[in-house]
């Protein structure tokens, strides 16, 4: 899989498009990427904030890397799978960090909570 992922990182021009953008978070944008064989990935890209101080940028990078390490260490059927990460020379800037992870088309966790906030019977809210 690592050889495959190395080829994948070279396809950034087909990833960073508005059409592929599926969300944005605290650190940056998330894009959907589909390979020719139909396999899909979600790509989270750390975007550097120009207005931040050097210390703020370093802290943001540290937290992003910590999130990546946590994702990498977890293997559970209900947690999005981590595949790879890379520092990429991107149109967003030098040394932009990308994380490739499992693509889940069920929407965001935030949307799930909002849609089911009054549904105590949903399996996701049951306490055993």
* Reported pTM: 0.71
User: What is the predicted pLDDT for the residue at 73?
Assistant: 94
3-state helix, strand, coil in the chain (%, to 5): 35, 30, 35
Confidence of residue 61 (pLDDT cuts 50, 70, 90): confident
Cα-to-chain-centroid distance, residue 58: 19
Write the DSSP symbol of residue 80: P
What rounded mean pLDDT belongs to the chain? 77
CA dihedral (124, 80, 114, 49) positive or negative = positive
pLDDT average, residue stretch 75-93: 77
Asked if residue 81 has pLDDT above 70, the reply is yes
Task: Name the residue among 9, 17, 19, 28 with its Cα closest to residue 100.
Answer: 9
Confidence of residue 70 (pLDDT cuts 50, 70, 90): very high
User: What is the predicted pLDDT for the residue at 117?
Assistant: 73
Higher pLDDT, 49 or 97: 97
Q: Across the chain, where does the E strand assignment appear?
A: 21-24, 28-34, 40-46, 82-90, 93-102
Burial of 92 (0-12, 13-18, 19+ CB in 10 A): middle
Asked if residue 54 has pLDDT above 90, the reply is no
Confidence of residue 111 (pLDDT cuts 50, 70, 90): confident
Task: Name the residue among 10, 34, 37, 30 with its Cα closest to residue 99.
Answer: 30
Asked if residue 37 has pLDDT above 90, the reply is no
């Amino acid at each position: 899989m690592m050889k495959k992922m190395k080829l994948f990182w070279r396809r950034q021009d087909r990833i960073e498009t508005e059409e592929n953008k599926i969300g944005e978070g605290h650190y940056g944008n998330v894009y959907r990427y589909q390979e020719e064989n139909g396999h899909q990935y979600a790509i989270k890209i750390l975007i550097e904030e120009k207005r931040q101080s050097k210390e703020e940028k370093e802290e943001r990078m540290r937290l992003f890397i910590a999130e990546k390490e946590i994702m990498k260490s977890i293997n559970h059927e209900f947690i999005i799978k981590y595949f790879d990460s890379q520092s990429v020379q991107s149109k967003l800037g030098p040394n932009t960090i990308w994380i490739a992870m499992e693509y889940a088309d069920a929407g965001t966790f935030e949307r799930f909570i909002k849609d089911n906030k009054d549904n105590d019977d949903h399996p996701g809210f049951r306490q055993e």
